[in-house]
Amino acid sequence: MDEVPGSVGTSASFALRLGQTIFSSASLLFMSLGVEFYSYTAFCFLVTIMGLVIPWSFTLAMVDGYSVLVKCPLRQSGILLLIVVGDWVLSILTLAAACSTASVVDLLLHAEGSFCRQKFCTRYQISAAMAFLSWFLSMASSVFNLWLLPSL
Amino acid sequence: MDEVPGSVGTSASFALRLGQTIFSSASLLFMSLGVEFYSYTAFCFLVTIMGLVIPWSFTLAMVDGYSVLVKCPLRQSGILLLIVVGDWVLSILTLAAACSTASVVDLLLHAEGSFCRQKFCTRYQISAAMAFLSWFLSMASSVFNLWLLPSL
């Protein structure tokens, strides 16, 4: 059985999952430590999705870390299919949330009335950027695992 | 060789492509027949992406229609890979544009100052909904063709 780098149970996958966890946590923190996020639908959506992504990525990071330590990769097609579908759905939702946040921040920055104080807007922008990075890593995980799926 | 319903050169694929063309054209028309779309980045993004999706879907609809008529489906893995990747990239961009538009419209509707006249906002909403439908069909095309790819 070929070892696909980045699929479940490899150290590359562990790194990807760790990156997802870190970026989503950063996105959530930058967004929610401001006090005004709940007045915009897009920001609430981002917080909700990040609240889903963080436990998912963290759990899979633990699984990968365990697999690497005991040198016994997970190779059951049912579980792998579940992981691929979960990653895929979450990455679509992350992309949607990141795009919504980015476009709302852009609108707030360029609106005629001064809607957001400069400090908050920068934090929203950083949050959206972190969400995009998290999306990219999540999509990479999904593709690597999809690649492995037919060989099981 | 198995015939995957919805893959290139079948009548289901022709229907999918026709749906994409119709929904993206509707999205573009609802957005651009209003006069104010160029003042919001998200709306300009939607118009740009729809301008890419319409010719892509229309061309592939023509190819599918021709394949169905001459009963000679296209089965070259290089071309199929190109179509899968193109569909995938365009569906991600369509999703991003639809989410951005939807969140900006939501913000405009609920902003304190009356930013958009009611008539325009409804049209923007319809445009975003059409873009979501176009994304869904585009994603379906991509998945069906990806399914066919390993068998070539």
Q: Tell me the per-residue pLDDT of A39-52, one tens digit each, with 9 for 90 and over.
A: 788 888 999 999 99
Taking contacts as CB-CB distances below 8 angstroms, the residues of chain B near A99 are: 95-97, 99-100, 103
What angle is formed at CA B127 by the lines to CA A51 and CA B8, rounded to 5 degrees? 85
Instruction: Give residue-wise pLDDT tens across range B107-139.
Output: 888 765 555 666 778 888 899 999 999 999 999
Q: Is B102 on the interface with A (CB under 8 A)?
A: yes
CA distance B95 to chain A (A): 7
From the CB of residue B58, how many other CB atoms can be counted at a distance below 10 Å?
A: 16
Nearest chain A residue (CA) to B114: A113
What are the domain boundaries of chain A? Answer: 11-146
ipTM given for this complex: 0.83
Distance CA B142, CA B133 (A): 14
* pTM flag (> 0.95): no
Report yes or no: A42 at the B interface, CB cutoff 8 Å.
yes
Predicted pLDDT at B17: 93
Q: Dihedrals φ, ψ of A116, to 5°?
A: -125, 140
Q: Helices B77-110 & A41-70, crossing angle to 10 degrees?
A: 140
Q: Mean pLDDT, to the nearest integer, of A137-141?
A: 91
- Contacts (Cβ under 8 Å, ≥6 apart) of A71: none
- Distance separating alpha carbons of residues A102 and A106, to the nearest angstrom: 6
Phi then psi for residue B115, to 5 deg, are -75, -45
CA A93 to chain centre: 9
Q: Is A106 on the interface with B (CB under 8 A)?
A: yes
Across A146-150, B3-7, B84-88, the highest mean pLDDT is recorded for: B84-88
Interface membership of B103 toward A (CB under 8 Å)? yes
Cβ of residue A116 closer than 8 Å to a chain B Cβ: no
Phi (first) and psi of residue B70, to 5 degrees = -90, 0
Cα A98 to the center of its chain, rounded Å: 10
- Average pLDDT, stretch B86-104? 92
CB neighbour burial string for A3-37, b if at least 16 within 10 angstroms, e if fewer: ebebbbbbebbbebbbbbbbbbbbbbebbbebeeb
CA distance B97 to B129: 11
Place of tokens 């609809």: B61
Residues of A in Cβ contact (< 8 Å) with B148:
none
A119 vs A30, A112, A115, A126, CA distance in Å? 11, 17, 12, 11
The whole-angstrom distance between residue B68's C-alpha and the CA centroid of its chain comes to 22
Task: Dig out the tokens for B11 from the structure.
Answer: 């009548």
Instruction: Provide Rg for chain A, Cα atoms.
Output: 17
